Chain A
Amino acid sequence: MAVVLAGGLAACGGVGSSGGGTGGASSGGEGGALTTMGFGFPDEIATVRVDAFKKAYPDVRLAVNEGQFDEQAFLSAVAAGNPPDVVYLPRDKIGGYAARGAIQPLDECVATERIATGDFYPAAQQQVKYAGKWYAVPEFYNSIILLVNDKAAKDAGVDPKSIDTSDWDGLAKLAEKMTRRDGNRIKRFGFYPKLPEFLPLWAKANGADILSADGRTAHLSDPKVVEALEYATGLVKAQGGWTGLKAFTDTFDYFGAENPFTKDQIGMMPTEQYLVSSMAGTSPDAGITVLPFKGRDGRPVNNVGGNAWVMPKGAKNPQAACRWMKTMTAKDTWIAAARARADKRAKEGKINIGTYTGNAAADEVIFSQIVKPSGKPAYDDAVKVIRSVQQAGFVVPQSAAAAEFVKTWQDASTRVLLGRQDAAGSLDKAQRDAQRALDEAAQ
């Protein structure tokens, strides 16, 4: 059993005790070996940037262990004192690992290699910092927009472009109008609010943050968060309930040609922009409209996310690791990758809606020089909308108990969705559990 194995590691006395310098300190000389974890070569965006690193540092022996980030493998490697040099992981995990010392601060790396951190979007910068220090370098920048199925809107007698998420009463009525059922079976779910994972978005839309800026105080029982959860879960209940919706969405193939928009299974939903990128490749003629997701004050709200590069404790070649992180996220590398993507899509005759990086300076060039109008208004307008909401990006601050905190508010949302508790009671419990976890982690 995994715990037993971990125990064995501890018993050997080598738990995370091996060397490895801090970020930027060269222990591997100019070259040496560089091992990555959590990264692969799914497309030209990856290969072009890896090639750029190989070209810049030909004396580094690069070993890319392809595959998704595996928490258990990562922690076991760190505990055994034999971690990879760089790890590619979701940014929302950084706080928990940083607080426990599983990953190294990168301030020295950033200074030594002169990483242009000012190029990164402010929200991406905030998400890779913990306790005022750099702990990661951000990669992509996933924005949330509202994706509308034009047919569903028209069936409901509404011009899709006129849909406004700041009008919560109007939105609820529209959701019900868009819904189609056949007995117990859902044919089309009008408005999928993407709970529980998008609770921070709904709270922000109602003017509340679920965690204090310093990551130490939970705000889950804030009346505005309660109101947001009540409203969003109410949308699901009014359209038939959570159990049916979840079973329905489990059948979706989001990234294929038979996605829920082309199959007319969803009326509208907030979603990350990469779904639109995927649809541009698979469904160029889809009748969709992309709109900003607005808060009740009428301004866009955008809970951004993405992956980042971190350097684990005990990394053997921190200098090469730092150079890797710099190269993979630098403006010029991103531009080269975006150009390769554009060329490939052009050759395939597919629409290219661009590459949305964490590097704002790179995005400026990509969207002014590389991404050209496709002639498909739905996707050309989508690019404008996605670009327009990027600066409105916000993140849930990093905390020492990041994983526990996420679990508490997601569990709270699920309890309400399942009708097991009301929003106030469920978020009160979540507030107590989350605060206890945050306090324990802070100690």
Chain B
Amino acid sequence: MTTAAPAGRRVRRLRPETRWAYIFMVPWLVGLLVFQLGPMIASLALSFADYDLISAPRFTGLDNYARMLEDDKVARAVGNTALYTALHVPLAVVLALVLALVLNRITGRAAGAFRTIFYLPSMTPYVAVGVLFLFLLNGQAGMVNDFLALFGISGPQWTTDPDWILPGIVLMSLWNLGSTTIILFAALRNVPRELAEAAMIDGAGPWQRFRSVTLPMISSALFFVVIINTITSLQMFDQVYTMFFGNQIAQQSSGDAALFYVVYLFQQAFQFLHMGYASALAWLLFLVIAVITLIQVKVGNRLVYYEAEEHAG
């Protein structure tokens, strides 16, 4: 691509690499405009309308947003999603970090095999994971309670007792730590060995080396996985929908204990045809995610040690 050459101005030609970069970006940019930005603008407009997908949208001002304040299911869905996020994110990051540390210590030929094994659960489709855990967590015949029974523990009704449904979902979510583990593992591999060795010579123990050397050096990766896990937690849908809302009978069993925000949004859109209201719900979620991410970035900038990249580079 070249820029136009107005009279009297110096012609500035793009470098071939830059030109090719733009060419390769075109499909993505078209996709962004047609499949994301356009529909996003349309859904923003619909959030101010009463729209059932069949009839023409009818402008209703801020009614959909006002309705959210009175809708007790919105409050329940927000509560469930927030609690899940608060439980899942720290657990997932800590467990993934432990797994990454274990992987980092495995050397030789076995290393590749173990990395593959650790990542394999991430290859399982979400729907399959949902169905699998519905059986594993079954309070009457599931393997989780069978395992607990070996220690004399009478397990709860994970899939039907409203008090245990959310912990069960958190347990299920820890199945899929592959991506987070791999990102943290890559960060651990970039920690300069000489820093840890210098700390050891200075008399630092394993915990001190981890806290004062490793953790700061991988803090940017940790920050990244916290943000990504937070966003995916707030958008949780597939597994929960499969487990608790996939058919009419499943929908009746759990009350609102598994009502996540995006599940409620989907119900409003495609079960009740309240597309305008669902669009308003979608925009609220977008704003919440944007605000949380902004806060995380502000806080993260104070805590994250970015010079590690410069050092590694």
Contacts and interface: CB of A to CB of B under 8 A. Distances in A.
16 contacts: A3-B265, A4-B43, A7-B43, A8-B35, A8-B39, A10-B275, A15-B53, A71-B271, A75-B270, A102-B53, A243-B139, A246-B160, A247-B160, A251-B140, A407-B271, A407-B272
B266 interface: yes
A7 B270 contact: no
Contact of B252 (A5, A72, A413): A413
Interface stretch (B10-18, B44-52, B119-127, B181-189): B44-52
Interface in B120-171: 134, 138-141, 154, 157, 159-162
A29 B40 CA distance: 41
A96 B157 CA distance: 35
B206 interface: no
A192 to B, nearest CB: 12
Nearest to A251: B141
B42 interface: yes
A11 B42 contact: yes
Interface string A81-125: 000000000000000100011100000000000000000000000
Query: Contact residue range for chain B?
Result: 35 or more
A244 interface: yes
B119 to A, nearest CB: 27
A411 B255 contact: yes
Interface string A185-229: 110000000001100000000000000000000000000000000
B106 to A, nearest CB: 39
Interface in A279-320: 313
Interface of A: 1-11, 15-16, 71-72, 75-76, 78-79, 96, 100-102, 183-186, 196-197, 242-244, 246-248, 250-251, 313, 403-404, 407, 410-411, 413-415, 418, 420
B54 A79 contact: yes
Interface of B: 35-36, 38-43, 45-46, 51-57, 134, 138-141, 154, 157, 159-162, 248-249, 251-256, 265-266, 269-273, 275, 278-279, 282
Contact of A11 (B39, B139, B265, B272): B39
Nearest to A248: B140
Contacts of A76: 53
Contacts, number: 134
A100 B54 contact: yes
Given A75-B270, A414-B252, A101 B43 contact: no
Contacts of A404: 272
Nearest to B56: A15
Given A197-B252, A246-B157, A410-B252, 18 more contacts: A2-B269, A3-B279, A10-B42, A71-B270, A75-B53, A96-B273, A100-B52, A100-B54, A243-B161, A247-B138, A247-B139, A250-B160, A251-B138, A251-B140, A410-B251, A411-B256, A413-B252, A414-B255
A200 B45 CA distance: 40
B145 to A, nearest CB: 9
Nearest to A8: B39
